[in-house]
Amino acid sequence: MNLSPRPSDATMLAHDRVYRRLRTRIMHGDLPPGHPLTLRGIGTEYGVSMTPAREAVRRLAAEGALTMSTSGRISTPALSNDRIEELAALRALIEVELASRALPRAHLALIERLQSINASVGEAVAQRDAVAYIRTNLEFHRTLYLRAQAPAMLAMAETVWLQMGPTMRALYGRLRRTEAPQFHRLIIAALRAGDEPGLRLAVRSDVTQGLRMLVG
């Protein structure tokens, strides 16, 4: 029997701690595109040696959250417009499916929670806080998709978010909006009505709206 004396906190493995903290920072847009990182710098920052730093970086690079030049230099990805269009298309494909699978399981408590999160999104927008906006926006989507009971699909969607993190920050950083996202309200309305085609359209619109701002 495993008594698990410290069940609350996470794994004590150093590389995993470094990985999770770096991943969160990247996904939330804490780092701008092309931002350089060093193994020794990461190690110093998180109080570990180069070895776990290297493993965390390697893992993030495998997920597309970091890029490594031919000489091994580490930086956050600076995406081309074509790459952004692709990633947006992937988001549309995967997240529409996730939303569709979540719809039959979406009960009232979930919908109310989504509304609460969406209020936080509105606050972040009002305060011009790009990182808070990205974080709460992703929390909105993840909360919905968790109901789909499709962990592999959710992992894929999060991988796409991760790749877009730095770019999203740059994108929303130069955007000056004042109103909360309109499509979130459409998503919530479609969930209430059990309207699957409407839900698919609303999710697709929400996911690709950022693209239009950039390319258009």
Partner DNA sequence: GCAGCCCGCTTGTGATCACAAACCCCACAT
Partner DNA sequence: ATGTGGGGTTTGTGATCACAAGCGGGCTGC
By the criterion CB under 7 A, which residues form the site for DNA?
Answer: 13-16, 37-41, 43, 48-52, 54-55, 68-69, 71-74
Judged by CB under 8 A, which stretch of 93-101, 115-123, 130-138, 170-178 contacts its own copies?
93-101
* Cβ at position 39, least distance to DNA in Å: 3
Q: 198: how many CB neighbours lie within 10 A of its CB?
A: 15
178's tokens: 């004042």
**CB-nearer residue toward DNA: 44 or 127:** 44
Q: Is residue 12 within 8 Å of 52, Cβ to Cβ?
A: no
Determine the distance from the C-alpha atom of residue 4 to the mean position of all C-alpha atoms in its chain, rounded to a whole number: 31
**CB-nearer residue toward DNA: 50 or 93:** 50
Report if residue 113 touches its own copies, rule: CB under 8 A.
no
Determine the distance from the C-alpha atom of residue 27 to the mean position of all C-alpha atoms in its chain, rounded to a whole number: 5
State which of residues 156, 175, 180, 189 lies at the interface with its own copies (CB under 8 A): 156
> What does the alpha-carbon distance between residue 39 and residue 52 come to, in Å, rounded to a whole number?
9
> What does the alpha-carbon distance between residue 18 and residue 185 come to, in Å, rounded to a whole number?
36
* Cβ at position 65, least distance to DNA in Å: 15
Report if residue 61 touches its own copies, rule: CB under 8 A.
yes
91's tokens: 């988001």
Q: Is residue 42 within 8 Å of 71, Cβ to Cβ?
A: no
Name the phi and psi angles at 69, rounded to 5: -70, 170
Judged by CB under 8 A, which stretch of 89-97, 111-119, 130-138, 204-212 contacts its own copies?
89-97
Note the residues at the interface with its own copies (CB under 8 A).
Answer: 54-55, 58-64, 83, 86-87, 89-90, 93-94, 97, 150-153, 155-156, 159, 163
